[in-house]
A and B are shown apart, each in its own frame.
Chain A
Amino acid sequence: MTKINAYRRLDGRVGIRNYILAISMVSCSNTVTERIAHATGTIPVVHEQGCTEFEHDHERTKLALISAGRNPNVGGVLLVGLGCEQTNMEEIRSAIAETGKPVETVLIQREGGSPQAEKRGVEHIRRIKAMVEAERRVPCPVGDLVVGVQCGGSDWTTALSANPVIGVMTDLVIANGGSVLMSEVAGFPGSEHIVAARAATRDVGLRVLDMISELREEYHSTYGQRIEEVNPTPGNKAGGITTLVEKSMGNIKKMGTSPVQGVLKLGEPVPHPGLWVIDNRAQGPDPFNLTGLAMEGAVVTAFSSGRGSPVGNAVMPTLKLTGNPETFEKLASITDFNAGTVIQGCSIPETGAALYAFLLEVANGRETKSEINGNFEYIIPRETARGTHGRCPLSS
């Protein structure tokens, strides 16, 4: 059985990086957080929220910040707050500390101002670093890997070469006992019958159908038009896509052919290995979805982009591939893997196997372009309030 060399965390999960984060509790503490991270060579997690939020939005902020700290790629955390914000720093501290990693806190008002908070934060991080740097990679089964899949900045090659290649990689991860997380559920309508047919149980099939019915209903009640009425778009048709089934299959292809184990809401832990659908309906730019995958515990995401994209994530390397050989040549500085060889005559299965091999190299420590270029975004996925939302499942 193939092994990877990775970090076995005290909660049993496996990380492929040993990042240290400086997490801002509220937008008021963003600058101090960024300055501490800059001074210590660590990763800042800053955001636009943390105060005067409605409960629905604040629960999402809390979940996102806790999930960042709990991701197995993270070895230690500093929390930086102002002192009077809505975000409860102690609640976040204890939810992260539960995983056994060092967590320190600093408050600007308590320290007597920004320079003082910065100085204290840098001292904290030096201590955290000493502990975290003592951690060593150990052999772990591929089965401990949680891998996200995503696409963005698509072109005509995405659904033809890149996503089918990701699908082969997905099947290989799962065949080796690992987990793959697929989100982008807004792209499911049109192939929900295919996804439901692959469900491991009847209940899971119903969850998939319920989720997509709800999504279709939401679109219809919000915009007054059905998804089929606006899809495929004129641009899709000009590019050769004939039907909505065809369009959505281009997205679904990243899931490979393994049975779907279940549908998880953001914050629900992955119960066991296999292929999972993450019900993240946040409509927005690519980092929304990417951050959602990181929040679910993905330690790496394979991200295909026909036109090329630099996006990364604060807690997770992003393995960027393109199905377009011209993009790979032009944007090699932001692209890790060339799946455009399929266009030039290589087979999809052999290219997918090569991508899987590359993924294991990244798991073993090979830096991705997103890391080399410092793309450590953490953009909290925001969803419209709806009646079914519960409280942040990771805090007590």
Chain B
Amino acid sequence: MFRLAVKSVKHNPKRLVLTAVAVALGVALAAATFTLTNALSGGFSKLFDEIYAGTDVIVEEAPDELGDSEDPFAATDAIFAHGDVDDVAAVDGVASAWGGRQVSGTVLAADFEPSNDVMAAGGAPSQIFNWAGDPRVDQATLIEGEGPASDDEIVLDVDAAPRLGYALGDTVSISTDIGVEEFTLVGLVRFGESNSLQGATLAYMTDARSAAINGDDGYDQISVIVEDGADASAVAEAIDEILPEGTRAITGEDKAAEQTAQFDEILQYIDIFAIAFALIALFVGAYIIVNTFRIIVTQRTREFGLLRAIGVSGRQLRTMILLEALVVAVVSATIGIVVGYLGALGLSVVVEALSGEIFGTVTLPIDAVVWGYVLGALVTIVAAIMPAIHASTISPMEALRESATESKKPLRLRNIVGGALTLLGVVAIVVGLYMGIEKPYIPVGAGAMILIIGVTLLAAQVLVPLAYALKAMLTRIFRVDGKLAANNIHREPRRSANTAAALMIGVMLLALVATFTESMKSLVTEQFQGNNADFFVFSAQGAIPEGALEVIEGEDGVAYVTSTGLGTVLLDGEATAVGVIDPDTAELAFDYNNEPDFDQMDGGAFIDPSMVDAGFEVGDELMLEGAEGTATLTVTGRYLNEGDAQVWVDEETGHALLGDYPIVQSMVVLDDGVDPEAAQDQLLDALAVDYPLLVLQSPGEFEQLANQFIDLLLGVISAMLGAALIIALLGVANTLLLSVTERTREIGLLRAVGVRRRSIRRMIRIESMVMAVFGTVLGMILGVGLGAALVRALEDFGFTTITVPWAWLALYTIAAAIAGVVAAWWPAHRAAKMDILEAIAFDG
């Protein structure tokens, strides 16, 4: 049987080419992602090794009990006093202990100009530390000049100095929380073995200066070198016993492993994300496979009938078809894995040329191979099952029949199953979106999938009347060509429906995302309608320095500045996000979506919908426990948008709970009659001296910026869906190609009675265009519908208006029509150049 299957594939490989391409594309997407994330993981694990492996033991804050998401590169609070360092140094087996401190700031380039541009102000981060002078502690070796000996000296890493335009002896500016600080560059260091910093800038200053900038002479970490022959983990345990609560000692090796593991966890999400898109692509590919095998089975009815006649059982026939599918799957998965690996390799070369070395060795991970074959084989086999079953029911009599026309089975069963699935899908989606289930994406995702299959099945029934409705129109416009094209679509409703549905899936997702993002834009616009603020202040470094706000408040024409801070507190032992506002001014600057307004806070707290879901209500008492202290607050109101902060408090409470909390956003309100544009220039000039990285956006600019981000989101997802759309178009081309082959005689006859090649081409093109547009329209209806349901479900996040992305929909329709013509190019060409004599030649 296997030999027969292989021979059959070999005998007519052309009809399986596009099927193989479809599977290979999907597999390639998965393989490329696995290869890239594997290489990234390798690169970062090397980085973490270099950061931590030189140090024998690291003493640091214990993993955050407040459940902060830990950013391995961010500066942490000073938690160790000088006495703690001495205590650690006195522990048995410790050769030396150093207090380490990170300074939050950005090393400015020599030619830096303030730009008020959010995108440009970011850039690669700076990592600034106090200098120990011991490579095992600093993880950096001085390779030129000297270490920072006096407080106005600094060293940079060897790559950053030329990149930022500094040479030894130059004055280096650093933007910090207390303003722009200046230093003299006295030395260059190399980080680890190869200075692979993934694009970041590394700088070291004296201990005293770093303490002055941070405004705190404590340390956030203690690095320990053990005595020769001492066991690092034993020493770590000994240190642990004398440490204050909330801190820990860990060996450098363990720390590196822990960081790598955390990073891999993040990468896993990328893998899952990419596999989701690969699955979408393969799901679309499955439609092509179904169609291809269905057509092949029809074309080979006589052959199968003959095999049955000479004693091959139906089951054997079925096995043979599935084996053929397996052969296709293995071949195309292999191609896909190789292509994916090469693509990842190429991409890594390009990325590294642009942004420096961030990947480890790019090797083909076993994950990529396993997933590639499993996905490829699974999709192909599952898709071939129905056609295989169909083949197994062919009776030996078929071999003797005159023509190989597919028997016109009624669509009733298909309609019943389709209708049931559609209903089931809709129910699952509604349950997922509105019932407040724990993991709503599971019923929603499954529901969407079932809905798609249901609609695909129903599409066959919809296509029949639609093709007839279109027939009159197409006949009027394109005469016979149009009529024949409409007839062809209608003749094989299953096949046309499957083909159109493949495109439908891609377009549906596009329309869904477009509906969501356009509604998000409406949300942004609405939010700005209640806005009184003249400017929004942002910092590219994260938090906005207090000093900067003082500068703004001190300028003429500024009425007041109101700020939002963020922190984390414990509520009944649960980490809870707390937002801090000034109740007197916040509501004046911005019309928050709350009940009542913030100025009614009265020293209490406002809670968001997630808290309401958790059972809290106005009038309840909240026991909040922060890093600085605890507070018992009465709930005085509700904040109606989810996702910003769970509990809102005033500034006094904020300080009592959190001490100094980071300010994430500030709003500036000007005096009446002050020209905003002139004021913006004035404020930026004032900020340029000490806080050049701060950005001041007018509401218009801010809205535009927000919309840019939303468009970027749409762009990224559209690009990821590209593979699915390409596969869908291949599907249209494939179906047409096979049906052209099937219609050889008919096309030959048309040519014989005088239809020109041009007309034949046009006929195929119309057919393709109609199928493409039909799939697109179906996809748009589903996509906008699902998008609207999604927006409704996210009401708690502030969504109020469902915006139908008409412009995008129009664009998609036009694109679909063009794509249809493009997809028809090869089949139309094949049909037009068909030899008439061959077409009308008879077997007898």
Tell me, yes or no, whether A binds B: no
